[in-house]
Structure 1
Amino acid sequence: MTTNTVTEQVHERDGARPDVLVVEGLVHRFGDLTAVDGVSFRIASGETYGLLGPNGAGKTTTISMVAGLLPAHAGVVTVAGEPMGPSKVDPKRHIGLVPQDLAIYPELSARENLTFFGRLQGLRGKDLAGRIDEVLDLIGLADRAKDATKEFSGGMKRRLNIGIGLLHRPTLLILDEPTVGVDPQSRNAILESVEALSGEGMAVLYTTHYMEEAERLCDRIAIVDSGRIQAEGTRDELIRLTGGVDHIRVVGSGDTDAAAEALRALPAVEQVDADRHSLVLTVHDAPTAVAQIVTGATGAGMSLSDVEITRPNLESVFLHLTGKALRD
């Protein structure tokens, strides 16, 4: 599966939904370092698209060009049908940008921060007041609306940061590592908020180095490393790059050799590796196969003490594509 092939397939599959963002051949250099090297992707309305890769992979530089904060040395960005660039104003109105660094005033309350930034975005009067109430509910801060944000936890500040980006009802919301350094409760609240956005028709561009976030939130994911998209697709499409096989390890005592022979005869089992006290089986769809495997092993004279299932994930995909772990 090539990146271009998957992109064309998704674009055709989502043809009924217009592309909010089109990125073609983006390149950006810092001196002799090519930080972004030919990146291309599309995001349709109502779709959450993830850029997954380690720190330094080029994710933030990419979204800085998408948002018109950095010039592209090559390539084109189009937002809602309008070409983007540092000097462009109109396409930026379609974007809500939530950067890694907090952009809030600590002496102001949550409501005062939202009021200030809402006015900068052109909102006024009842429309602004009503939208602030909606956003406070969405980010779970309605009960702390009057409190100075200097009293907030790190997670609450990040949720407010997201709320600021949502105020003007953007067509495209860009979230750059929004859960870095937050507590588990706030992290879950952030993820729940993001999940609700695509359901409202908003296109979301989400960068992260947390595999589980990409798997939970994103309709499609681009694996990014060294400034390039190494592969792109749905989670299942990416998993298939590794062969898509699962592993089941059964541990116990008794006649492991006989159990191994019995399990090799099962249609679901591709391979069995045996040692004195355990068997490791390569299978497709482990949850479906596990009951049959347990029955086969015990029927062949093996007494089981443990059964473990290992399924491939995006960490496996990244390792397969780059030869290194996601957080290296």
Structure 2
Amino acid sequence: MSEKIVKIENLVKRYGDKLAVDHFSLEVEEGEILGLLGPNGSGKTTTINCLLSLLTFDKGEITIFGEKMAPDKYDIKSKIGVVLQNVAVIETLTVYENVDFFCGLYITDKKLRKQYVEEALEFTGLTEYKKYKPRKLSGGLLRRLNIACGIAHKPKLIIFDEPTVAVDPQSRNAILEGIKKMNKQGATIIYTSHYMEEVEELCTRVVIMDHGKNVANGTSAELKATLMNRETIRISLPGKSEKIIEGIKEINHVYKTKEEGDDIIINCNGGEHNLVHILSYLTDNNVPFGRVSTELPTLNDVFLEITGKELRDKCS
């Protein structure tokens, strides 16, 4: 069985009367890329800060690499890399000096540190920019510098918090490919993002938090299988009649239909070859149809189904 790299048991964190984390439990196995998702205010950031011993908590236990985590556990912290959403680099230092500084917090041997810094720069594609100051870098390059600073000491556990916010598609692709490569090289990763397509592409398992609780846990496929709507079919049907609509509703796995102009939108709750069955029914009844499209559920659909569609951001 895989080693449990992270184990959070019954975590509770309060801010006064507000319960930010409500008896939250989580396990992360060695080699996983775990997607930790949740709407604003769900408790993700608080949980990560507790995990890193940056915050005290009211109840629960956190173990990392099999040891109980605490603020003075520097041997554990030396095996963790953190890449925060807000770029955290030193403006007065060059790219090389920044990576060297952060790597030096964990690696004291100068020769080994030099090797690690150069490898981190090469890994993130920053070697040609190593003499630049951060203010000379584009947003995408700054993000990659942020990553280089967080992973130069070769941590076994890496926490990425929204690493692709506000970057161009090329930099985003480079960052995602880099994360996959780190995972293949042995790093266990916790990844938070509001970009659901990234999570589907990267993560071997997904946990959804809401109101401080673990409300869903599984692979993307397993979570999507919990939805009633498993396929949405749209057909242009200008000659439709009430009899035809009723006939479509009686087809196996069709549980809802909706008319929009000449189109009919059909929701199916499972099954295979739903589109084939519906088009066969139309053909058998000599009903002409036009444009046809089919759409399977996404992780975003799961997220909205579980956490709701109302906006969470409110003015203070």
Q: TM-score, normalised by structure 2?
A: 0.88
| Cα distance change on mapping 1:85 and 1:272 into 2, 3 Å | same
Deviation, structure 1 residue 137: 2.7
Q: What letter corresponds to residue 124 of structure 2 in structure 1?
A: I
Q: 1:306 aligns with which of 287, 291, 304?
A: 291
Q: Does 1:97 align with 2:82?
A: yes
Would you identify which runs of 4 or more consecutive aligned residues in structure 1 move more than 6 Å? Answer: none
Alignment of 1:130-209 (within 5 A): 130-209=115-194
Q: What letter corresponds to residue 195 of structure 2 in structure 1?
A: Y
User: Which runs of 5 or more structure 1 residues have no equivalent in the other structure?
Assistant: 1-15
User: Which runs of 5 or more structure 2 residues have no equivalent in the other structure?
Assistant: none
Q: Deviations over 1:174-220 (max 9, x none)?
A: 11122223233322222221122222221111122222222221111
Q: What letter corresponds to residue 59 of structure 1 in structure 2?
A: K
Which residue is 1:45 aligned to?
Answer: 30
Q: What letter corresponds to residue 147 of structure 2 in structure 1?
A: I
Alignment of 1:79-94 (within 5 A): 79-94=64-79
Task: Please give the root-mean-square deviation of Cα atoms over the aligned residues, in Å.
Answer: 2.5
Aligned 8 A contact 1:51 1:221 in 2: yes
- Which segment is superposed worse, 217-226 or 238-247? 238-247
Q: Does 1:241 align with 2:214?
A: no
Distance 2:279 2:265 in 1: 12
Aligned 8 A contact 1:28 1:74 in 2: yes
Q: What letter corresponds to residue 49 of structure 2 in structure 1?
A: S
Aligned 8 A contact 1:22 1:79 in 2: yes
| Cα distance change on mapping 1:153 and 1:258 into 2, 3 Å | same
Aligned 8 A contact 1:209 1:326 in 2: no
Aligned 8 A contact 2:64 2:76 in 1: yes
Q: What letter corresponds to residue 82 of structure 2 in structure 1?
A: L
Distance 1:317 1:268 in 2: 19
Which residue is 2:92 aligned to?
Answer: 107
| Cα distance change on mapping 1:307 and 1:287 into 2, 3 Å | farther
Alignment of 1:231-310 (within 5 A): 231-243=216-228, 245-257=230-242, 259-260=244-245, 263=248, 267=252, 269=254, 272=257, 277-283=262-268, 288-310=273-295
Q: What letter corresponds to residue 310 of structure 1 in structure 2?
A: E
Q: 1:69 aligns with which of 54, 65, 73?
A: 54
Q: What letter corresponds to residue 67 of structure 1 in structure 2?
A: L
Matched residues, percent identical?
39
Deviation, structure 1 residue 35: 1.2
Distance 1:62 1:48 in 2: 17
Q: Deviations over 1:134-187 (max 9, x none)?
A: 222322223322222211112211111111111111111011122223233322
Distance 1:267 1:167 in 2: 55
Provide the aligned length of Structure 1 versus Structure 2.
Answer: 313
| Cα distance change on mapping 1:275 and 1:161 into 2, 3 Å | closer
Q: Does 1:215 align with 2:200?
A: yes
Aligned 8 A contact 2:164 2:172 in 1: yes
Q: What letter corresponds to residue 22 of structure 2 in structure 1?
A: D
| Cα distance change on mapping 1:254 and 1:23 into 2, 3 Å | same
Q: TM-score, normalised by structure 1?
A: 0.85
| Cα distance change on mapping 1:284 and 1:74 into 2, 3 Å | same
Distance 1:209 1:229 in 2: 17
Distance 2:219 2:311 in 1: 18
Distance 1:40 1:117 in 2: 31
Q: What letter corresponds to residue 311 of structure 1 in structure 2?
A: L
Distance 1:241 1:296 in 2: 28
Deviation, structure 1 residue 37: 1.3
